[in-house]
């Protein structure tokens, strides 16, 4: 519920399309991907930066809490309101304009509420795309504020590496608009302030427009599933494949047998690619790609993959146990089905973590032994972008086990795993999903004191008021 006086003010700022107050209209905005379901005071849907600025200014002056939301595909519970019923959900979905595609500059200027799919469809006529490849369809504002990574990070980097400019509304009494919309690839004139807002989930300011880099479309792709001889062979394969395929290599993904099993079980459209053999304990999906059509004189990418695999088979102590070359859509469907499959197969305790690449398998081995000894009922269903050291470490508790409903147990387990990731292996508690209510405790526990202090100071300088679901406290 919102006071009548505030509602009147919001009606004066936005047209009626911009305000939702009915429970049924608000419900989709209140539910997140990770089972979070809060209660909003109302939903505001501004159409431009000026309206965002007025809303922020009014909310700051009247101490009203805001939760920014773009595509609502975030996995850290940062885009949904809490249960209090007093937070105002600020949706960017109407700010979905594509202002400009500049094919020569290789850039696009878009509103924060523009979906990735819409941007890519529009870029199609210029044979360009935004090269962050993820299994959801988020908006550019959310992607920027979470600095999303995706499957082709190895080749293109994440959002940070692909952002040229931003427009931001700061959390102060004026709702100050900070215009950092420079479409320049090079601009070396002191601190590059846009980076303050990339990956900070709205804590430092709300992103209303972005200018991103575009890349030529991929015209040829080839993919293979590799079964390593054992887990130690994964690192050998990574190095040998990078050496042999160079910049053609666009993805190097890992998939545990447990995740594959659940992905296949819970998705009728995908089947065991290794049949008639069983599902292996671990498999890698590798993709190579080129931005031009096959020329007569050159080998196809399938042939290049075959040659590479032959070379690996011929190693005296080959790191390969099996390999399947198949159509990219087929293999990516399997990879993208893992998230949903693990989620449906039991109570999911998900971690999005990262390591120095060589430590990833050592961590997996350590955790396999640790869980087997302490919690044998928990299945490790890990998968992820292991070419860049990232791992979606998904632990699944059977729905009928008492721990599936025991939140204290799950909190302790989370803490134990994070301790091992950060303290024992020097890894990160958030590889690419950024921050949210799920991992703010980890931010408090594992971020250095002096770093937290600087973050607080930057926060008070840029956006002294709270304008997001989470805070640097
Ligand atoms: C099936 C699936 C697959 C996924 N795969 C990947 C993957 O491979 N790699 C990856 O990195 N992520 C992945 N994600 C996570 C998610 O899609 C990304 O984090 C995405 O970038 C979130 O964008 P969004 O528009 O949905 O943001 P939202 O969910 O709306 O918001 C995310 C966070 O940003 C804040 N925020 C939103 N808009 C703004 C704004 N305009 N200004 C300031 N703050 C704002 C929110 O308050 C929240 O804290 C996946 C998610 C799903 C469901």
How remote is the CA of residue 112 from the centroid of ligand 1, in Å? 12
Q: Is the CB of 196 under 6 A from ligand 1?
A: no
Q: Both tokens of residue 447?
A: 């971020």
Q: Could you tell me if residue 153 is inside a domain? A: yes
Q: Is the CB of 52 under 6 A from ligand 1?
A: no
- CB 95 within 8 Å of CB 206: no
Position of tokens 């990078």?
A: 242
Cα dihedral 297, 301, 306, 310, rounded to 10, equals 80
What is the domain extent for residue 324? 218-336
Q: Is the CB of 136 under 6 A from ligand 1?
A: yes
Query: How many domains is the chain partitioned into structurally?
Result: 4
* Residue 73 CA, closest ligand 1 atom number: 26
198 and 107 share one domain: yes
Element (H, E) at 290: strand 282-290
Contact residues for 304 (Cβ-Cβ < 8 A; gap 6+): 222, 245, 248, 288
| Residue-level pLDDT at 398 | 96
Pocket test for ligand 1, best of 69, 336, 392 (most atoms within 8 A of CB): 69
Q: What are 226's strand-pairing partners?
A: 284, 323
Pocket test for ligand 1, best of 29, 46, 148 (most atoms within 8 A of CB): 148
Q: Is the CB of 436 under 6 A from ligand 1?
A: yes
- CATH number of the structural domain spanning residue 121: 3.30.465.10
Q: Both tokens of residue 145?
A: 């504020």
pLDDT (tens digit per residue) in 212-237: 999 999 999 999 999 999 999 999 99
pLDDT (tens digit per residue) in 114-127: 999 999 999 999 99
- CB 231 within 8 Å of CB 365: yes
Element (H, E) at 320: strand 320-326
| Residue-level pLDDT at 16 | 83
pLDDT (tens digit per residue) in 268-304: 989 999 998 999 999 999 999 999 999 999 999 999 9
Q: Could you tell me if residue 452 is inside a domain? A: no
- CATH number of the structural domain spanning residue 263: 3.30.70.2190
- CATH number of the structural domain spanning residue 398: 3.30.70.2740
425 and 376 share one domain: yes
pLDDT (tens digit per residue) in 63-97: 999 999 999 999 999 999 999 999 999 999 999 99
| pLDDT at residue 1 tops 80 | no
Q: Could you tell me if residue 453 is inside a domain? A: no
Q: Could you tell me if residue 456 is inside a domain? A: no
pLDDT (tens digit per residue) in 194-215: 999 999 999 999 999 999 999 9
79 and 67 share one domain: yes
- CB 183 within 8 Å of CB 104: no
d(CA 57, CA 254): 46
pLDDT (tens digit per residue) in 317-341: 999 999 999 999 999 999 999 999 9
277: which DSSP letter?
S
355: number of CA atoms within 13 Å, CB side? 22
Q: Is the CB of 421 under 6 A from ligand 1?
A: no
How remote is the CA of residue 277 from the centroid of ligand 1, in Å? 37
d(CA 222, CA 286): 8
How remote is the CA of residue 173 from the centroid of ligand 1, in Å? 27
10: number of CA atoms within 13 Å, CB side? 28
* Domain stop point among 44, 76, 91: 91
423: which DSSP letter?
I
- CB 462 within 8 Å of CB 205: yes
* Domain stop point among 336, 359, 393: 336
Q: Could you tell me if residue 471 is inside a domain? A: no
């Amino acid at each position: 519920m919102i006071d009548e006086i505030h509602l009147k003010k919001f009606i004066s700022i936005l047209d009626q399309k911009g305000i939702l107050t009915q429970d049924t209209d608000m419900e989709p905005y209140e539910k997140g991907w990770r089972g979070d379901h809060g209660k909003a005071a109302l939903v505001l849907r501004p159409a431009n930066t000026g309206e965002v600025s007025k809303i922020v200014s009014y909310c700051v002056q009247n101490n009203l809490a805001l939760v920014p939301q773009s595509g609502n595909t975030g996995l850290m519970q940062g885009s949904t309101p809490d249960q209090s019923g007093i937070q105002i959900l600020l949706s960017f979905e109407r700010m979905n304009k594509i202002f400009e595609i500049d094919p020569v500059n290789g850039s696009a200027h878009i509103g924060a509420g523009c979906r990735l799919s819409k941007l890519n469809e529009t870029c199609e006529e210029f044979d360009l795309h935004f090269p962050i490849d993820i299994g959801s369809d988020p908006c550019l504002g959310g992607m920027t504020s979470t600095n999303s990574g995706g499957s082709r990070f190895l080749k293109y980097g994440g959002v940070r590496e692909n952002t040229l400019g931003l427009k931001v509304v700061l959390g102060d009494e004026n709702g100050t608009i900070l215009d950092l919309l420079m479409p320049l690839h090079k601009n070396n004139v002191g601190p590059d302030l846009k980076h303050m807002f990339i990956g900070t989930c709205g804590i430092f300011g709300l992103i209303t427009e972005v200018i991103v880099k575009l890349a030529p479309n991929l015209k040829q792709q080839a993919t293979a599933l590799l079964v390593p001889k054992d887990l130690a062979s994964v690192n050998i394969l990574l190095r040998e494949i990078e050496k042999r395929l160079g910049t053609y290599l666009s993805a190097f993904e890992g998939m545990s047998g447990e995740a594959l099993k659940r992905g296949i079980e819970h998705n009728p459209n995908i089947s065991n690619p290794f049949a008639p053999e069983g599902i292996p304990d671990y498999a890698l999906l590798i993709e190579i790609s080129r931005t031009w059509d096959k020329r007569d004189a050159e080998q196809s990418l399938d042939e290049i993959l075959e040659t590479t695999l032959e070379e690996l088979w011929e190693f005296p102590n080959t790191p390969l146990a099996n390999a399947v070359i198949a159509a990219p859509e087929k293999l990516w469907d399997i990879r993208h089905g893992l998230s949903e499959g693990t989620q449906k197969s039991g109570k999911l305790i998900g971690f999005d973590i990262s390591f120095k690449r060589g430590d990833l398998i050592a961590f997996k081995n350590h955790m396999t032994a640790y869980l087997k000894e302490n919690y044998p009922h928990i299945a490790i269903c890990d998968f992820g972008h292991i070419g860049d050291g990232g791992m979606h470490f998904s632990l699944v508790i059977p729905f009928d086990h008492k721990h599936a409903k025991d939140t204290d147990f799950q909190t302790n387990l989370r803490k134990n795993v994070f301790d091992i990731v950060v303290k024992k292996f020097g890894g990160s508690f958030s590889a690419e999903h950024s921050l949210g209510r799920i991992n703010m405790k980890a931010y408090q526990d594992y971020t250095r004191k002096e770093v937290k202090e600087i973050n607080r100071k930057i926060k008070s300088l840029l956006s002294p008021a709270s304008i997001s679901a989470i805070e640097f406290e």
